[in-house]
Amino acid sequence: MDIIFLRGLQIETTIGIYDWERLIKQVVILDLEMGTDIRKAAASDDIVDTLDYKALSKRLIGFVESSEFLLVETLAERVADLLLGEFAIPWLRLTVNKKGAISGASDVGIIIERGGSGA
């Protein structure tokens, strides 16, 4: 299996369990690894034969920006569901980083793996 990746995608959204978090936008940072087979695209040299990561990132940005989840876990699960369903990705690893959520920590978040044997 080949992997197409997208790293450091920063998106502003409403996320958090505290009242003050419901009133502001916070940045979440997404890192994605998506399993695919690039051989057909490599042979044809045509975007229709591969995962269009520009279209994927636009869809992802729109979804996350308009979401209002309480938990990072819920956001991660919904993003994975969206990508697996709409983009026919057989496997993905997603990191959702809520940078600055814990004082003194540079990063905090969750990593999930869905599809294939990680589902």
Please list the active-site residues: 98
Q: Which of 100, 92, 96 is nearest to 110 (CA)?
A: 96
Q: Which of 7, 113, 12, 3 is nearest to 66 (CA)?
A: 12
